[in-house]
Amino acid sequence: MREITRAQKARLGMFLTISGSMLLIMLLYITGKNVFEKRDEYFIRYEDVSVSGVEVGAQVKYHGVRVGRVDKIAIDNQEVSTIIVEISLLDGTPVKTDVKAEITALSLTGLKIIELTGGSNDAALIPPGSEIPAGASPLQAFTGRVEAVSEKLEIVLSNFIELTGGENQEKLFELINSTALVLEDFHSMFAENRGPIENTITNLELASENVLAITGSPEITRTLTNLDSVTTSINQANLAGVIKDFGETFEEARIAINHIDLTLLKGRHDLLMSLEVLRDGLESFNEFSRLISEDPSLIWRGRQGGEIDPSDKR
């Protein structure tokens, strides 16, 4: 067997020394980073809530961003139904007083993380070492809704039992029997009048076919087309101009009527004057007739002292 030379031993020792030194440096770096890294520690109290799936080292996220880890999980000595979860966050992580810590499933594997939700700009910061309020997990919310539904269902069942019990039970049975009798009478009536009902349905079908035939006839189509054309023409017409022309025509007619009224008023005055003259002439003629009837000789000899004065009355 070949013996190891001194040079080989020296190289082996140097290799082991360098490798061990590098390994030690890496361990010190990793350990020192975790040990001497400054982190903000908080704790969360979960009362009557199962933290199954949350393990030491589990992630802590804030709005989906990883900001820390779970350092410790323990049962409260004073309240055995309370679980205390200690977490550490990156130095300077802003945790507001309105932030809630909820347990959220990470995946279908059953692993869970702690999700910090909420937080507003106006809220104050929670100092490190303080408690972060626990939020309601989706399971808790679902359980609460189930409990609420169960309570309402229990109330409904109690009311139903009360409604169908005692005297109401007899009334309910009477109502069921009456309904059965009505349905039986309806069935008998339908059976007796089945023929007329079928005839009525047939007539309705024929009427529907006739209506469809009428509405699809060329005359109806032409009528609708003409109506559409008339409507289009009316829409396209200058209605404003027509209304304006009608207004002008109406104004001219009003002026003409006023002129006619003035003409009639003037003619009325002339007519009254003519009637007055005619009345005077008739009075003179009546006086002349009276004088002639009293003395006919006046026709050929006239009155003494001159002509007959129609205004002279005896």
pLDDT single digits (tens) 131-182:
999 987 665 666 667 777 888 888 888 877 777 666 777 777 778 888 888 8
- Provide the sign of the torsion angle of the four alpha carbons 121, 127, 128, 133, taken in this order: negative
State the average pLDDT over residues 186-210. Answer: 81
Using only C-alpha atoms, what is the Rg of the chain?
A: 60
Percent of the chain past pLDDT 90, that is, above it, reads 20
Structure confidence at residue 132 (pLDDT): 94
Which carries the bigger pLDDT value, residue 107 or residue 150? 150
Structure confidence at residue 99 (pLDDT): 93
Which carries the bigger pLDDT value, residue 278 or residue 22? 22
Q: Which of 71, 66, 119 is nearest to 90 (CA)?
A: 66
- Asked if residue 303 has pLDDT above 60, the reply is no
Q: Which of 102, 122, 125 is nearest to 44 (CA)?
A: 102
Count of residues making up the chain: 314
Structure confidence at residue 127 (pLDDT): 93
- For 119, counting Cβ atoms within 10 Å of its Cβ (0-12 exposed, 13-18 middle, 19+ buried), the class is middle
- Asked if residue 81 has pLDDT above 50, the reply is yes
Structure confidence at residue 166 (pLDDT): 67
Q: Hey, what amino acid is at 48? A: D
Between CA 140 and CA 132 the distance in angstroms is 18
Structure confidence at residue 108 (pLDDT): 67
Identify the H or E element spanning 88.
Answer: strand 82-90
Residue 272 binned pLDDT confidence (cut-offs 50, 70, 90): confident
Percent of the chain past pLDDT 70, that is, above it, reads 82
pTM for this structure? Answer: 0.40
For residue 102, list its beta bridge partners.
Answer: 115
Between CA 108 and CA 113 the distance in angstroms is 12
- 118-136 pLDDT, tens digit each: 889 999 999 999 999 998 7
- Please, where are the H alpha helices in the chain? 6-36, 138-164, 167-192, 194-215, 218-236, 239-294, 298-301
Contact 69, 57 (CB under 8 A): yes
